[in-house]
Amino acid sequence: MWNTYLGKRLLGFKYATKGAWMLLKNEASIQVQLVVAIGITIAGFYYNISTTEWIAQTLAIGLVMSIEGLNTAAEEIANFVHPDFHNKIGYIKDVAAGAVFFSAIAAIIIACLIYIPKF
């Protein structure tokens, strides 16, 4: 059954949900982002934000958590292939963290655009 087209897709989904659970269980930064995501979702209901605002907010949450997950994967690969100190590993980790920074700035701007007018 798992060797069919549909079976392989289902297996991929199973591994992806396992990976998402591992990120949420093991990674402090993702846990913090999940708490922020829950808080901002509660704020969305409290301030009764529009459908467009929900779309922007949901995309922002997904973007930050996705890039954080990729950043974690890059760090894990870097630690696995080269556990010792190396400038190149430092560069790889820093640019991966920089990608999270870009997404976080975008998410903060989106949050400001949605919530500042509501005060």
Just list the catalytic residues: 68
Interface with ligand ATP includes 93 (CB under 6 A)?
Answer: yes
Residue number closest to ligand ATP, CB atom: 90
Helix (H) or strand (E) holding 54: helix 51-81
C-alpha to C-alpha distance for 93 and 76, rounded to whole angstroms: 10
Residues that contact ligand ATP, how many (by CB under 6 A): 9
Least distance to ligand ATP from the beta carbon of 88, Å? Answer: 8
Backbone angles phi, psi at 49, to 5 degrees: -65, 160
Using alpha carbons, list the distances in angstroms from residue 8 to 19, 44, 46.
Answer: 16, 37, 41
Interface with ligand ATP includes 90 (CB under 6 A)?
Answer: yes
How remote is the C-alpha of 49 from its chain's centroid? 22
Least distance to ligand ATP from the beta carbon of 79, Å? Answer: 7
- One of 24, 89, 104, 111 touching ligand ATP (CB under 6 A): 89
Interface with ligand ATP includes 97 (CB under 6 A)?
Answer: yes
C-alpha to C-alpha distance for 27 and 23, rounded to whole angstroms: 5
Least distance to ligand ATP from the beta carbon of 96, Å? Answer: 8
Q: Segment 27-56, which members bind ligand ATP (CB under 6 A)?
A: 29
